[in-house]
Structure 1
């Protein structure tokens, strides 16, 4: 399989590290996964089988991939010009416009390439358009890594639970807010915990999308559309963040046998993100940076999956799973 990586930040490099580390394992069990191009804002490198270790070292040392040495070629030019089977789109998520990822994905389909993405932005804003474009060009589109990091949420629902009617989905889909609320249960105030989370790298320098609930909103839109067949965008979600939660509120909730968690849910076609009282013994009461998703189904009843919802290697795990799935599908067709 010939792969183009668009975006070489934390997630792009995480995928490259995993492909390098597991190269022999993958070759033995699934065949070759060769990266033939990497592009980001600094330029691109192109080759039959790029030295991933060197590419990572150069990017992390200089901040630019073009020093590989590379060429001054845009991501779109790479997508159009380089012969490859799959484009992995892992540029930063933009929840306002979905760009440049939306254009990258559409142009990949138009130029005969399947797509794997971890990018929430275009999926939360243009899900229907992207799916229809993939179908029009007869291309495979996978995005397990866009929700829940390493947690197999979408594949679990669509494959393992195939035949079940998914009645509702609810869960904690943002590790930053879960960490903050977990620490606040110890009596620390919101601002103190947020500062600590930034210092530990758990929260972004600008954590607005996390604490406002927008990140969770984007993820439940993806789940609603991909799993439940709805046609929603992030504008359809009722959103309330955790900014007004106090240690006192958590203390009072604990005394009554509850905790407070930022819950995203899809029930009866409605999409809601807001802090909710959760029984302390509930499967939804996970701690720290963990994520959890609970499916209510007609046959299997309640199914719960818990795992790490973020991190370079964890997200790379989901991307790799999608790449292996596409490789098998291509080989079955040939």
Structure 2
């Protein structure tokens, strides 16, 4: 979550609409969450408007007709709206699992008003202030489309009514556009599923869009957008391009044919397995090599369908993959592999904060020399996009300081200690939930937070500080007497990383156990949540999200993978003259670090 921590300009806002053409089963909400996360980590607030699952509205109409037998339309409207209510709740759950802060609002909670017939009404009003207030605590507002509150109860907006909801939200809330996520990547001259040489439009005026879209976008939504000056984008999941509908002349563009991205996965522990699940959920977009693991037989017996496993590094890197995803961890094998991967012309995505902190300059040099991408969003913050935020704000103004709760494991453990648990019991619970490693000393002693703080310092100030040179305070030094004294004063202990720049350019950095007032924003973080306060010359920003666990970390890793695919446009060519990969010369991997 990114929001102003002090009064500032309104955040950039985007409305995303997910129709039933992309929501077929409950599994599709995770794919929709990826699309939402792409926008939130780019610094946008998102209103996600959702349709019912594919076929559900028709099924509700059918059962209503069967039970009611020509009953009043107003009663049918009450029934068929349930598909959107269910869908909004499922979307909220998917975002929560991914570590994205979201609020799910029903129409009556937004004063979303409508007028007209029960089954074909139009939206007429919204309580803007009431809706925007939720962005103080969330990055995403999820709203059911297709219906609003009429004078005598719920009314629906007609077939395709969720398009209209998205357009009206964009108008009322001042969003930059309404992006309609469909099962096609834009508007075509003909149906591309049946006409292979159909041309795709880069842009369309409103009248031409109504003529050629043939129901792809609801006519009422196009008419409303034209009268209100709202830009509509028609796009597919995960695609950077779209057909823009607005006050522009029609223009056709190239039809995008993207070959699958070849991916090598190194490691299949908690995070690696989560990333693999995301990759497999997008058939046609990714081609997975055998996954490198310590014991291939065990993983084959218990692993995911559709995956092959190997203990042989050369096999994991066969056929020169486009991208290598390292989830091994540690600073042994993973450290040498990270350099070899970039040196040999492959993109690298990693969640390994220790390797990035140690070899920041060298890895970036190798990436630049080979013309490849180095991505490591998951190394700091998990689902809290702190590095992306720092990259944005450091370009426009000096960062004065950054401080935050940056170790979700410690935050969870400190919460349990505050409830009276013993340290050993709190650690065991964190391990059982997948937040803590088998050896938790890196978290407990502050080494993990120091690695993250060193990376933050590079992005905030462009200065190199070795993690070992950052002062650290260990949880094991937190005495029961100190905990009791804080409790008596109603204070909350947090492990806080702090870095700031002095007027002479010196950087102060430390990891400390700090007793905070209960209403402090960092004190409000619960369980595995991370939170960061970024102080700028004239304002401060707050970034929040889940910082530990399989799904928030896997979400950040997957977002890096998709960013590389999007930037490359699918044209991922091997540089000329590449040597055979040196990192494949070792036939087998040492097994001590591989899940």
Query: What interval of TM-score do these two structures reach, taking the shorter chain for normalisation?
Result: 0.7 to 0.9
Cα offset, 1:243, TM superposition: 0.9
Cα offset, 1:63, TM superposition: 7.8
* Structural mapping, 1:1-334, within 5 Å: 1-21=261-281, 23=282, 32-42=285-295, 59=299, 61=301, 73-74=312-313, 78-79=316-317, 81-92=318-329, 94=330, 98-159=331-392, 162-268=395-501, 269-285=507-523, 286-299=525-538, 301-331=539-569
Q: What SS does the aligned partner of 1:243 have?
A: helix
2:565 & 2:346 partners in 1: Cα distance?
A: 12
1:69 & 1:14 partners in 2: Cα distance?
A: 15
Gaps of 5+ in 2: 1-260, 502-506, 573-595
Q: Which residue of 2 aligns with 1:49?
A: none
Moved more, 316-325 or 156-165: 156-165
Report if the CA contact (8 A) 1:42-1:64 is conserved.
no
Gaps of 5+ in 1: 44-54
1:162 & 1:233 partners in 2: Cα distance?
A: 24
1:69 & 1:192 partners in 2: Cα distance?
A: 37
Q: Which residue of 2 aligns with 1:52?
A: none
C-alpha distance after superposition, 1:96-150 (max 9, x if no partner): xx22122212111122111111112211211111111111222111100111211
1:247 & 1:197 partners in 2: Cα distance?
A: 20
Cα offset, 1:296, TM superposition: 0.9
C-alpha distance after superposition, 1:61-119 (max 9, x if no partner): 35899xx76566225x644x422211111112x2xxx2212221211112211111111
Report if the CA contact (8 A) 1:188-1:247 is conserved.
no
Q: What SS does the aligned partner of 2:387 have?
A: helix
Cα offset, 1:42, TM superposition: 4.1
TM-score in terms of structure 1 length:
0.82
Q: What SS does the aligned partner of 1:18 have?
A: helix
Cα offset, 1:283, TM superposition: 0.7
Q: What SS does the aligned partner of 1:166 have?
A: coil
Higher relative contact order (CA 8 A, sep 6+): 1
Higher helix share: 1
Q: What SS does the aligned partner of 2:450 have?
A: helix
Q: Residues 324 and 284 of structure 1: is their aligned pair in 2 closer, same or farther, counting only changes over 3 Å?
A: same
1:182 & 1:7 partners in 2: Cα distance?
A: 30
Report if the CA contact (8 A) 1:99-1:121 is conserved.
no
Question: How many aligned residue pairs are there?
Answer: 306
2:436 & 2:421 partners in 1: Cα distance?
A: 16
RMSD (Å) for aligned C-alpha atoms:
2.8
Q: Residues 145 and 60 of structure 1: is their aligned pair in 2 closer, same or farther, counting only changes over 3 Å?
A: farther
TM-score in terms of structure 2 length:
0.48
1:258 & 1:123 partners in 2: Cα distance?
A: 34
Q: Residues 69 and 302 of structure 1: is their aligned pair in 2 closer, same or farther, counting only changes over 3 Å?
A: closer
Q: What SS does the aligned partner of 2:535 have?
A: strand
